[in-house]
Amino acid sequence: MSMRRPMSGVTLSSEYATALRDWRRERERRSDSIKQAREEGMNETDIMADPNLPSPRGWWEYAVDPRGDGAPTSENSNAPGKLDRQSNLNTDSLVLTDWWDDQEPGMDTRAILSYQQMLKSEIDNVGDWFGYYLDEAWTPDIYVRTSMADYVPNMFNIFMDDDGDRLDPSKTEGFFKRTGQTLGQGIVGYGIVGGLFYVGVTRFMPKATDGIMEIVEKVVGGTFETIFNIREEFVKSNKRVKEAKEAITGD
């Protein structure tokens, strides 16, 4: 199999993936500590005032200041969030690192799979499970889309190269050819998605809904009927047992 990146866009470095994992861990840890404090009877005012119970942070807050030791800003700074590049307190800031320069052109499937496996290994409750499958499973944070072609999901992409990989415009020489590939992939992909949506909505959705509701109705009706039949049989059986007992004991 080819080692070429099968798509455009950029995949961020593994350091970013690790930072994302660390942030999630910190968030979980802080949430759990606060939850435990509440269970132990602490009120909200005490929790807010307790320096050992910091609030869970969003990704941006974490990325700006992973150590949580402060993130000084400077009016003249051109850095994101006007962070002061000269301050020692900002040496940990993810938004000031040059990791972005380590990005891989295209979709690095292996890096993304590793990242997703790492996330899956951290799932330990239903909320995390839903969160993962509603978000990161489809749009992993470490893959940044940079053109319309990148928005077409693999299952709707029909353009492949000789190796069977997804056609990658960024590997094509020449502005016009590259733009043609990006545009073609995007337009055709969107067209297929739109066409399937149209056919799905106009042809299948009403019938499917009608059919599904009918099935649910039958299942619910059947379930109730079964439950009541079981109850009836149970009552009958009890009655028979009682009659048998009476016959034996003569009461």
Q: Which is nearer to another protein, 16 or 119 (CB)?
A: 16
Instruction: Please state the separation of Cα 168 from the chain's center in Å.
Output: 25
What are the residues binding another protein (CB under 8 A)? 5, 8-10, 12, 16, 59-60, 63-64, 78, 80-81, 94-95, 100, 103-106, 141-142, 144-151, 169-170, 175, 178-179, 181-183, 186, 198, 201-203, 205-206, 209-210, 212-214, 216-217, 220-221, 224-225, 228, 231-232
- 49 versus 201: smaller Cβ distance to another protein: 201
For another protein, the closer of residues 79 and 123 by Cβ is 79
| Strand segments (E) across 45-119 | 104-105
97: DSSP letter: S
User: Which residue's CB is nearer to another protein, number 34 or number 150?
Assistant: 150
Closer to another protein by Cβ: residue 117 or 202: 202
Q: Report the DSSP pairing between strands 10-11 and 104-105.
A: antiparallel
- Cβ 199 to another protein shortest distance, Å: 10
CB of 228 to another protein, least distance (A): 4
Alpha-carbon span 67 to 57, nearest angstrom: 12
Candidates 142, 151, 92; CA nearest to 117 is: 142
- Which two structure tokens, joined as six digits, stand for 81? 């969030």
CB 221 to another protein: min, Å = 4
Rounded CA gap, 169 and 149, in Å? 9
Closest CB 121 distance from another protein, rounded Å: 22
C-alpha to C-alpha distance for 11 and 102, rounded to whole angstroms: 9
Distances (CA, A) of 106 to 3, 50, 99, 156, 223: 12, 46, 16, 18, 52
CB of 63 to another protein, least distance (A): 4
